[in-house]
Amino acid sequence: MRTAEQQLIHMVNQISENNQHGGFDKAAEITSVHLQKFWARSMKKDIVAYLASDGTELSEISKAAVKQL
Amino acid sequence: MLEYFQPSKDLGTPAILSEIMISIDIDGVAISVPEGTSVMRAAALHDINIPKLCATDSLEPFGSCRLCAVQIEGRRGYPASCTTPVVEGMQVTTQTEKLAKLRRNVMELYISDHPLDCLTCPANGDCELQDMAGAVGLREVRYGFSGENHLQVEQDHSNPYFSFDPSKCIVCSRCVRACEEVQGTFALTIDGRGFDSKVVAGQDQDFIDSDCVSCGACVQACPTSTLMEKNVIDQGQPEHSIVTTCAYCGVGCSFEAQMKGDQVIRMVPYKGGEANQGHSCVKGRFAFGYATHGDRIKEPMIRDSIDQPWRVVSWQQAFDFAAAKIHKIQAEYGRESVGGITSSRCTNEETFLVQKLIRTAFGNNNTDTCARVCHSPTGFGLKTTLGESAGTQTFESIRKADSIVVIGANPTDAHPVFGSLMRRRLREGASLVVIDPRNIDLLKTPHLKEAIHLQLRPGTNVALINALAHVIITENLQDDAFIAERCATEAFSDWRAFISEERHSPESSETITGVDPILVRKAAKSYATAANGAIFYGLGVTEHSQGSTMVMGIANLALATGNLGREGVGVNPLRGQNNVQGSCDMGSFPHELPGYQHVGVKAVRDKFEAAWNVKIDHEPGLRIPNMFDAAISGKFKGMYVQGEDIAQSDPNTHHVEKALKSLDCLIVQDIFLNETAKFAHVLLPGSTFLEKDGTFTNAERRINRVRKVMPPLAGLADWEVTLGLAKALGYEMNYSHPSEIMDEIAMLTPTFAGVSYDKLEKLGSIQWPCNEQSPEGTPTMHVVDFPIGKGNFAITEFIATQERSSKRLPLLLTTGRILSQYNVGAQTRRTENMAWHAEDVLEIHPHDAQERGVADGDWLGITSRAGNTVLRAKVSSRMQPGVVYTTFHHPGSGANVITTDNSDWATNCPEYKVTAVQVEKVSQPSIWQKEFQKFDKKQKKFLPTESAIESL
């Protein structure tokens, strides 16, 4: 089963995959807004930290979205 | 609403809705009633009471008992007033010497074959036959009692809740008609003719072995003691009653709790209840015995670790112990290291208080509710498309639906009273489309005219809803006028382009869904071309990785066809637990304050901060699965859980148990030592719905009063417990009655602004929004516009779940519930409902069973990537090949040991409905099950014995 970090990565990739219509920029924006609206502070902090330290498992849209946080 | 034996008057025949009024004269009284009304009802409405036996106003007139004969000027003979509709100018006489003699003669015949044991009969004092014998002045039975009779006919006590004594039966057919008209099961019939006529269940079987679903409609309809509650037989007649709301399922049935002192004798469905209109199911009607079960927790208890026995303490000691632990955790790990879970089984007021405690006394937004694991996608999906997180209709609205679409729901099992209403409409001719991997009972509705079953593969809902929408758009079946007037132009234009793509056609989608495209096209046309098309859905929609997308797809369909904003249409989520709607409304989610007001909006926070005198965090808190992850990571250490059994109900049990074991302080407030409580450090006794005042909000947004009928067994109602805990934590809340909590809810929640207990007393119930614009509530939503202005079409791209069958895990498991049990079974397992479902089983298609050499009753090991468990096999063709099914009503079954951590992309609602598994014959329980049994035994031993409690 997934670790807490793997779960966050899975979740953000799932969000971006489900919002990819409308092109890359729009998808990144929708994903970022979704994270802002629904994710707890600690989860946002952890995913930002993951992107800063590694980020390889995040999709390109997810990376762009997390950068906007 | 306290009623001291003044039950609503039985007017004999049902009300008729007509604007044409007919004037008649009955016994010299000028009367005006709607056209089609029976003479009997017209008379009863004006307190002219015609004797009757076979008539009751919940059933269509039958005209068999002949007791209600009247004289009508210009007509021959003595017509039955129940089957005679009023005609303009009609002159009716209800009492003459001739009629009196006729009625006495009829009654004499009945009594000549009826036991003369009134004084010892359980119906003594509540028997219509006895009443009518008195009303007609019966003084003798000239025929004697020595002739052939039915007095020695064998009784049937097989049903755990009621007895059938045919010797008391007058063959009025009320039970048979109730089973047909009200319940829609057709389990009863009259067998034989003339003197041999008798009521039989099924194929002349015992009730327990027949198709009877124990809804109680026949018992309710019986005018004698032929069908009688065993409780009444044992305890005698109740002496007062109080109207309250059932705590099972989201239908929210109103019941009269009929009492003898503090003891509930029986629960009788309340005719004035707008959700159920006098009907009930086996759970609400009979399964209330858990409230006084010996397993009830009646004393607060504490312990330092889950390896220690419980210590019984006073309420204050328990509050202080819990508060000290929470403070210590927050001092060490920070403000956000604790949180709580509100209950969808508790009242609105209690739920409001728990989230308030978390946001104030805990100082964070780590609040969530069990709606997370059921209908959270409904909130997200409907708010995105229609602007409000709720269903759009009343239940009654279905009476005007012409096409009924049921998606991922099994209403005859999970929402039985509404299922009966649905069946009634289907018998009247509405068409039915069922989208479900299983062959649900609704498809077997007697006298169903047309049904299309789209038996899709689990996990392919979105592909199918897109295919339906594709047909509607490409075959030009959309409602252009509605779209132009009510929907956002650009969103529709984008969606139309998307949905028109060939890849969404039924033919292209067949490879994904497995559904015949001809059936898909037929279903789309059936819904789109009906005058009124109504969609009802359940957890088969939400509990998927694309649950939110599917909800939006459903809303798209309703918007495209203009099936919103009037009676007979709409998008209707069938909520699982009694107060799922209410718990969501009350701000249980970590990102929303009550009334779905986002915590990130400063104006919203300002309002709550002023009322609560605290600073509210502007960031959302953790959801339940996030709390578990954080607990395992060592960042989340304390949790307050009210009336929710996350250890049994949440997916991936290994993960949940690991999280709960990671906590330094788990406070559980519940009526039993549930599975979660076995991991707790503080156990606060909960109270059942019978022990407190409050409100529940059902699936139609209807706010119903819950009324205390007995004192809380442990001394405090749940809302009082939360007050005590909050005070110990340093945040005092002052309420002397739940009505004051509702006043605060109304002050802070725009959709509840007009709600008060006084208004609820006056109106009976209120459907929110209730405010200045709709002072008496809103039965139908979105009549003029949407809360977001225009309806918003959402793009619903199908994305397959990662949970797929493979060579190693070739079957797909889906889970659900059955009629006799409720959710985790904590309540129903402690009732006689165990007679119908003593264990969870694995349903497997004959093809899959044969391939594995499996027969009915074999033990099967079920393995997923999350874990494995063992259940008994039930070979059933309800499933399609490749799909297996089980329920989660028994903790030892470990159904959620095998469900995974996959969840809905938008809300984290678990993907309970799709788990790839392998199944094989085994000879012993799984490792988890063996450990569970040991842990269960150990934790039960930690409970104080009765003598230990008494000595304290």
Q: How far apart are CA B750 and CA B693, in angstroms?
A: 23
Q: How far apart are CA B62 and CA B254, in angstroms?
A: 27
Q: A39: nearest CA in chain B?
A: B620
Q: How far apart are CA B740 and CA B744, in angstroms?
A: 6
Is residue B271 within 8 Å of residue B278, measured between CB atoms? Answer: yes
List, in order, residues 6 or more apart from B762 with CB less than 8 Å away.
Answer: none
- Coil, strand, or helix at residue B555? helix
What is the percent of chain B where pLDDT is above 90?
A: 95
Is residue B176 within 8 Å of residue B170, measured between CB atoms? Answer: no
Residues of A in contact with B498 (CB under 8 A): 21
Q: Are residues A11 and B600, on separate chains, in Cβ contact within 8 Å?
A: no
A7: closest CA of chain B, how far (Å)? 8
Q: B632: nearest CA in chain A?
A: A4
Q: How far apart are CA B835 and CA B634, in angstroms?
A: 44
pLDDT of residue B536: 98
Q: Are residues B905 and A36, on separate chains, in Cβ contact within 8 Å?
A: no
Closest residue by Cα to residue B284 from B258, B260, B253: B253
B366: closest CA of chain A, how far (Å)? 8
Q: Find the helix or strand (DSSP H, E) in which B483 lies.
A: helix B480-486
What single letter denotes the amino acid at residue A51? Answer: L
Closest residue by Cα to residue B132 from B45, B67, B59, B195: B67
Is residue B97 within 8 Å of residue B124, measured between CB atoms? Answer: no
Name which of B549, B621, B652 is nearest A40 (Cβ-Cβ).
B621
In order of start, what are the domains of chain B with their CATH numbers? 8-95 (3.10.20.740), 301-373+579-767 (3.40.50.740), 376-385+395-573 (3.40.228.10), 811-899+922-939 (2.40.40.20)
- pTM, two decimal places: 0.95
Q: How far apart are CA B764 and CA B705, in angstroms?
A: 8
Bridge partners (DSSP) of residue B431 are B403
pLDDT of residue B90: 97
A50: closest CA of chain B, how far (Å)? 15
Q: Are residues A43 and B799, on separate chains, in Cβ contact within 8 Å?
A: no
Name which of A18, A22, A39 is nearest B799 (Cβ-Cβ).
A18
Q: What confidence tens digit (pLDDT) does each residue in B33-86 have?
A: 999 999 999 999 999 999 999 999 999 999 999 999 999 999 999 999 999 999
Name which of B365, B546, B629 is nearest A4 (Cβ-Cβ).
B629
Q: Which parts of chain B register pLDDT below 50? A: 1-7, 950-952
User: Which of A42, A45, A50 has the most B C-beta neighbours within 10 Å, making it the best mutation to test the interface with B?
Assistant: A42
Size of interface A-B (CB pairs under 8 A): 66
For β-strands B451-454 and B638-642, DSSP reports them as: unpaired
pLDDT of residue B144: 82
User: Which of A14, A19, A21 has the most B C-beta neighbours within 10 Å, making it the best mutation to test the interface with B?
Assistant: A14
Domain extents in chain A: 4-67
For β-strands B29-34 and B301-302, DSSP reports them as: unpaired
Q: What confidence tens digit (pLDDT) does each residue in B551-593 have?
A: 999 999 999 999 999 999 999 999 889 999 999 999 999 999 9
Q: Are residues A4 and B630, on separate chains, in Cβ contact within 8 Å?
A: yes
Q: A45: nearest CA in chain B?
A: B619
Residue A22 pLDDT exceeds 90: no
Buried b / exposed e over B709-728, threshold 16 CB at 10 Å, is bbebbbebbbbbbbbbbbbb
Q: Are residues A42 and B336, on separate chains, in Cβ contact within 8 Å?
A: yes
Is residue B615 within 8 Å of residue B609, measured between CB atoms? Answer: yes
